Structure 1
């Protein structure tokens, strides 16, 4: 019974603790993605100030960076150093979660890929005409973001499986405008597992058991990624996770409580009674007598009672005393 009561108290307290952290985790995920957006937007300034070089048609590789040029004598932005820096910054913010970075020229004269994963080249060939890339820009609402002074300049897609690699990702789009004209689209693919990684790390740091979109949660709060067209997710926790975490501490607390209770009880008994005879000590009953206005005391002296005690033991001697 004590174990069940302790489990109820501790599990209830732990539920309240997780409820308080649910909102904090939602805010952390939002702030982490805002840092990604800010880092990606800074690349726009680098893009605008990068020199252009003339390149022939075909594929050109510079380490992990591949440039696909459609025609000879095409002016191509020299973005290698900036893409290296961008990738390093993003890896710090989303370790092991940056899937790829692409810079698509508008009107689709060339594309820069970091890295050029299998299938990307064939996919890029479908954007050979300006109409195709303009259609994508309209679909993702990238054409007029320069008008959104306080709005979302970046756009984040819902999670999807990339056809070329079968990796489940979200794409963050950042359009580069000059003189109200869309010149390029920066696309950063982030693994969907990045959000789960944030949740797992938060649980490890704060000793919580929160999950995202868990089934049969007993408590949840709605959350949305900033600047995303994805619907709301549910952040919460399941009672089974609460139970698994608290059953051990509850059992330990119940044992410690019982041991402490018995220790205090034994200590109180040892203070009041003589260990050998079981009779009350003088320093226990004498203060009580002093507080009484009148009382009577009967003192009986039994000769040679020690012989009875030595022969028959303390318990027999105490029994004889109780009848006197």
Structure 2
């Protein structure tokens, strides 16, 4: 089964800024507005080498003093090599991991200091799109059940027409047919499975989507389709994205601002074009120098370290 045809693409995600939000969604704000999500001095360490009595003999720092800001209706790209701490930050944002110290403010409220019941009430505001569309969907559940499970956990998100109509709406929103609700994940291609994962995340009407390497497991031709879909959804729904990836070309196609992580720290951040055109940190320069250039006439000169 082939993926839906891609929509028209544009290399600059700022060329078509979000305008009005869809009914029931938050209004889109300008970059100067209050942030929807703030990460302040986030630290996460893991104990290692537990002794006879269970005491840790040391700690491994996964995230070290990370501070990031997400403006409403914008995309912050977070890039870095494997082990740089990107995915650990994502897990903390959705509550899978607890930080060792620091704060995560969602619309001004510190979610790291909330009780479990309070966090559940806010969980529908922050959802995650996972990296692997093949393992993130339960193979024993139909597509309708996968998306509908979100409404079981968050019944307030069900539309006025009912659960089935809400599931159909989500499928159409991501470019799939309502008839697909009876099918199972193995009957879809990788790109379509990722669309199902996006529909599941959107079911509870979140304000922030944490996109953890959402296209890295897909063919290059399908990556563009999913990126176009995410950009369209952002324009139509006023969504805010934290987009995590190691592929700098993908990040450049969707992000408004970019933060570069290395060994658990943010070593450089700023507006996308500024960071790509005039990088300041040596690690950022090395990442950009490693990006392949298909046009030999435009290949970058090697960076000379002085």
Please, what TM-score do these two structures have when normalized by structure 2? 0.24
Q: Which has the higher helix share?
A: 1
| Higher relative contact order, chain-length normalized (CA < 8 Å, sep 6+) | 2
